[in-house]
Amino acid sequence: MSDRLSMRTPLGRAIGLGSAKEGVQHWWAQRLTAVALVPLLLWFVAALIAHLGADRATVLHWLGAPLPAIAMLLLLIAGLYHMALGIQAVIEDYIHTEWVKLAALVLDRFAAFALAIAGIFAVLRIALGG
C-alpha cells in the first residue's frame, strides 16, 4: 500500500472503512417491526378471509371504519419497513459488485417508500372519503 509513506495515522486510515455503526439500529428496527407484525398479520388474514369475494361497497365500508383503517395503516408501515430492511440484508449478502449493490439498495428504499405512500394514500382516501 502506498499509505506506507503517508503521514496519516493507522487510526486515521481505518476510520470509515469498517462498520458504519448502524447495525444495531437495523437489527432493532427489524425486531420491533417483527413484533408489531405478529398481531397485525393475524388480524389481516382473518379480515381478508371474512371479506373474500366481497364487492367494492363492502370493502370500502369495512376499510372506511376507523379501527380497520388504522390497523391497515399500521400493517403497511410496519410491513414495508420490515420489507425494506429484509431486502436490504439480502442485497448486501448476495450482490458483490459495488455499483449493482448500490443501485439495488436505492431501488429497495425507493420501492418501499413508493409502496408505503401508495398504500397509505389509498387507505386514507377510502377512510376519509374522496
Partner 1 sequence: MTAQRPLSPHLSIYRPQLTSVLSITHRATGVVLSVGTVFLVWWLVAAASGERAFAVAQAFWASWPGLLLLFGWTFSLFFHLCNGIRHLVWDAGWGFELRQTYLSGWTVLGASGALTLVAWIAGIVAGAPR
Helical packing angle, 66-94 and 98-128, nearest 10° = 180
Q: How many CA atoms lie within 13 A of 91 on its CB side?
A: 18
In contact, 80 and 30? CB cutoff 8 Å: no
The whole-angstrom separation of Cα 45 and Cα 43 is: 6
Nearer to partner 1, 10 or 129 (CB): 129
Least Å from the CB of residue 28 to partner 1: 10
| Chain contacts with partner 1 (rule: CB under 8 A) | 31, 34-35, 37-38, 41, 45, 49-50, 52-53, 56, 59-60, 63, 72, 76, 79-80, 83, 86-87, 90, 96, 115, 118-119, 121-123, 125-126, 130
Q: How far is the CB of 110 from partner 1 (least distance, A)?
A: 13
Phi, psi for residue 65 in degrees, rounded to 5: -75, 150
Provide the minimum distance between the beta carbon of 123 and partner 1 in the complex, in angstroms, as a whole number: 6
